[in-house]
Structure 1
């Protein structure tokens, strides 16, 4: 078996939406949900150090305060951060490396070429969505915070000549309130707020290549949106979102492993089909990672539990890239 392969993934979204918090909670919850399997997600040392600090910051949100201030309670990163994990079989060397690129949200405007190239290279894209900006005050702050038109334009540039399968995951964050009260409304608002992008993915030249899903993530767990305070920033109104703790005021992320379940489900199908078609990035990256039977069976078991109801949904999968009916066959 060849050495570790690298799957490139980007976490796409404006500054302050919660991309780094998502990756931290995602790694932690993966470990909790795979304790009885041979699968392990092992962070590289630099990634481990970043996540250790971020985890401490997230947990401190519950210390001696009834209300969490600002857009989600944590500050956006100002520098590019790369997160690298090894997806391994317990007791063996790494089988595949997952390389997450979490670029600063300011780069959406200041470094157009790099962002476009990143979208072109990455087989999986997570679109981080600030849920309160999408939901509150009839979506008043959605355009300002989430920049859906800019995000759509980037995809239109990067995917205009797409010939390979891509997995795009819409990830509403800070969505605890909406998942408790009306998850169907959250899903509907994602449809509405990103209608232009979803319609673009449904174009005849793209619908067979692009898989689109929605996976709401609760990175803190025991909080919910409380109020908005509008402040003046450079002469323009700008929102500060506040969150209140629930009765069980401890750090308890929920559903954060769901993007990884979908990711593995997608890769398993690519593995099955790669013998028939040559693709520039994913085929080379996958190599023979699923040839180990125990590893493959554990991956299949983990990927089976992708949620598709209660705010979760598969928006598009025309070609069946999430169909696992044949993944167990050799």
Structure 2
């Protein structure tokens, strides 16, 4: 939790999805939407932690903006991730050097489906799996168009296209890790994405929210059961997200593709609703949920650290004030031992005071985040 100079709270956030679901877009959206959401907040801000993260997010944002300008949007034309990439975001209390860092790993979704291809990719995927298993929070983005448009003809291959079995295996390893570290955060968020066509609050003329949720719970029922059995303390949420907010499904046809489950894949096409302004409904709830969960964990860690510093400071003070008899006390003063004990006691007291200040700052951040109530899209599944 701490380095040599300042407290640092670091959390891993894992995204678990096959290819073409939109992991990279979702990660980039977390920062841009988080910055917009917290613009007027005087307590906390969300920023990119390093130049590489800023560059990757800028590239993803530009690709999305350019695609929307075309007015006919085809996600398959967006370049996929070809190699693992780190995104690091900082949630910072304004005016304090007290970062809470979110580490998010993006990776080729095909690796989840195949476990990597060739020894080099297999090793990289093993590293990705280790990161996912060690994550405080797992986000499971799900292609809502795939869920809702599969139809009876392609229903037998839907579970394979969603990579449910592969997701279940990763979740099982994660759940066992969380069970062994019960004092740390443990949350799974099922996030259908590209939901603009199915939810009436997005501008759609029909409301298919109940059907969408039913499909998620039905398709991922074994994953949910795995979490309940292996990590019953884990929190499970359902939160549909509009990836762009200004698009609407025109068609979703199945086309031949060798090697895909059933040798077919879905090819959706969208139109862009004028004026083409991005409005990502549901994302504010995701950001608030992540921030509250992880800031609360940081607060608990800080309280534990403060309690340890308090015990150390109390012992150091008692030792500094200890009287050991006339001659021993005289020797302690003459040799400088008494002064050394005083300095140690003062330093330990200072560390305790600083730990208290960190805890108070985290309480302030948590209070500010708690004021943001969850929207109607957010549901408990546990």
TM-score of Structure 1 vs Structure 2, range by shorter chain: 0.7 to 0.9
TM-score, scaled to structure 1: 0.82
Q: Distance in 1 between matches of 2:258 and 2:245?
A: 33
Contact kept, 8 Å, 1:58 with 1:251, in 2: the verdict is no
Q: How does 1:65-214 map to 2 (within 5 A)?
A: 65=71, 67-71=72-76, 74-108=78-112, 109-110=115-116, 111=122, 113-138=126-151, 140=155, 142-160=158-176, 162-163=179-180, 164=182, 165-180=185-200, 181-203=207-229, 205-208=230-233, 210-214=234-238
| Structure 1 unaligned residues grouped into runs of 5+ | 278-286, 317-330
Please state how far the C-alpha of 1:270 moved relative to its aligned partner. Answer: 2.9
Q: Distance in 2 between matches of 1:200 and 1:88?
A: 35
Q: Does residue 28 of structure 1 match 2:94?
A: no
Q: Distance in 2 between matches of 1:242 and 1:86?
A: 35
Taking structure 1 as reference, are residues 170 and 246 closer, same or farther at Cα in structure 2, changes over 3 Å only?
same
Q: Does residue 53 of structure 1 match 2:59?
A: yes
Which residue is 1:327 aligned to? none
Contact kept, 8 Å, 1:265 with 1:300, in 2: the verdict is no
Q: How many residues align?
A: 302
Highest Rg: 1 or 2?
2
Please state how far the C-alpha of 1:261 moved relative to its aligned partner. Answer: 1.2
What SS does the corresponding residue of 2:198 show, helix, strand or coil? helix
Q: How does 1:209-288 map to 2 (within 5 A)?
A: 210-234=234-258, 236-271=263-298, 273-274=300-301
Q: Distance in 2 between matches of 1:41 and 1:152?
A: 31
Which residue is 2:22 aligned to? 18
Which residue is 1:42 aligned to? 47
RMSD value over aligned CA atoms? 2.7
Identify which of 358, 361, 378 aligns with 1:291. Answer: 358
Q: Distance in 2 between matches of 1:87 and 1:172?
A: 25
Post-superposition CA distance 1:225-267 (Å, at most 9, x none): 2212322222722221111212332223223232221122222
Which residue is 1:325 aligned to? none
When structure 1 is superposed on structure 2, of 125-134 and 224-233 the one drifting more is 224-233
| Structure 2 unaligned residues grouped into runs of 5+ | 117-121, 201-206, 306-353
What SS does the corresponding residue of 1:224 show, helix, strand or coil? strand
When structure 1 is superposed on structure 2, of 32-41 and 228-237 the one drifting more is 228-237
Contact kept, 8 Å, 1:171 with 1:214, in 2: the verdict is yes
- Work out which structure has the larger RCO, using CA pairs closer than 8 Å and 6 or more positions apart in sequence: 1
Please state how far the C-alpha of 1:143 moved relative to its aligned partner. Answer: 2.3
TM-score, scaled to structure 2: 0.72
Which residue is 1:314 aligned to? 380
Q: Distance in 1 between matches of 2:199 and 2:358?
A: 38
Q: Distance in 2 between matches of 1:289 and 1:115?
A: 36
- Which one has a larger percent strand, Structure 1 or Structure 2? 1
What SS does the corresponding residue of 2:256 show, helix, strand or coil? strand
What SS does the corresponding residue of 2:56 show, helix, strand or coil? helix
